[in-house]
Every structure is written in structure tokens, then in C-alpha cells.
Amino acid sequence: MKFVLPALSAVVLASGVMLGSVSAQPAASPQPAAAPAAPNPPKELRGARYCEVIPVLLTFGGLRAQVFNTLGHSTCPEAEWKGLADMSLRRHFGAVTVVLNGPRYFIMDRIIPKGATAKGEVITLNGISMESRAELSLSLFELLDKPFTEHTVDRETVYVF
């Protein structure tokens, strides 16, 4: 599956500025998940609300972003979502920045997870349970490349519209 990843390059540029910023929100301490229940995604996804937390880590070879998604765990409660604090999340993940993506609503009817994205690490952040669903990596050379460069993501998930 191919995706265009301009946002990750923009995140890298913005992270230099964001490293010195402090969140105006009260810090929400990330909590490890305690024996999470099996995810229970709705049978019909169209219109289902979800959120994603995407920590971006600087590695020896470049950047690595891990995508945590609330699908099957919660509908991303508004108060808890707004309580997520940037600095606390960056410290928790050891990340240069953390992208909060949401809330959003699914436009597809169904997702059939397969392969590595079928079951991921489950975490709880500020009372919101979510699961790791994807990982994206960019080398330092790719970061210097032009924006909107196509990258292949190794994923077997089936999307039904």
C-alpha cells in the first residue's frame, strides 16, 4: 500500500520549534494499560469516531512514527482527549514531537486487519485506551527529499467501502 507522507516531514521541521514549547494544558500523566479487554470495533465503521496519537521518535537512521488508534477501544471521549498534554506525551514516549490526530470519523464501511497491524501494543493515555496500528519510518536522506514523496508502507489491512 502506498501513502504520501508530507506531514511527517513537516512534523520534523516543526519539532525543532516545539521542543522548547510548553503545553498550556494541565499535564495528563500517561498510564500503562492494565489487562485491557480485547478490542471490540463496531461492525459498521462508517461515521465511527476515533482519534490517533502519533509519537515521532528520532532514531539513529532517521525518524520513526508509531500510530496508536482508539478504534475498538473507545470513541475518544472529548474531555480526556482535550486533557492530553504535549510535554507529558513527549516525555512518556521519548519523542521529539507527538501528533494528535482527531477526533475523526471513518468514511469506510469496514476494516479487516491482517498481518502485523491486526494486534498491536495496547496503551492508555489520560484514560483513553488505544492500540498500535502502524509504524512509519523515514531515513535522514528521505527527510531531505522533496515533499509529497511516495513511500510504501508494509501493511495487509483490507479497507471496505
Grid coordinates representing 101 are 490526530
Closest CA to 123 of 54, 61, 63: 54
Residue % of the chain over a pLDDT of 90: 45
Between vectors from CA 129 to CA 100 and to CA 57, what angle results, nearest 5°?
A: 45
How confident is residue 88, by pLDDT bands cut at 50, 70 and 90? very high
Give the three-state DSSP class for 79: helix
Phi-psi region of 91 (alpha: psi -120 to 50; beta: other; left: phi over 0): alpha
pLDDT at 93 over 70: yes
pLDDT at 38 over 70: no
Grid coordinates representing 8 are 511527517
The H or E element spanning position 13 is helix 6-18
pLDDT at 27 over 50: no
pLDDT at 34 over 50: no
Show the DSSP H helices in 57-152 as ranges.
Answer: 78-82, 86-93, 140-144
How confident is residue 25, by pLDDT bands cut at 50, 70 and 90? very low
pTM: 0.72
Report the alpha-carbon distance of residue 161 to residue 146 in Å, rounded: 32
Report the alpha-carbon distance of residue 55 to residue 148 in Å, rounded: 20
For the chain, give every domain's residue range: 2-17+41-160
Least confident of 19-28, 47-56, 118-127: 19-28
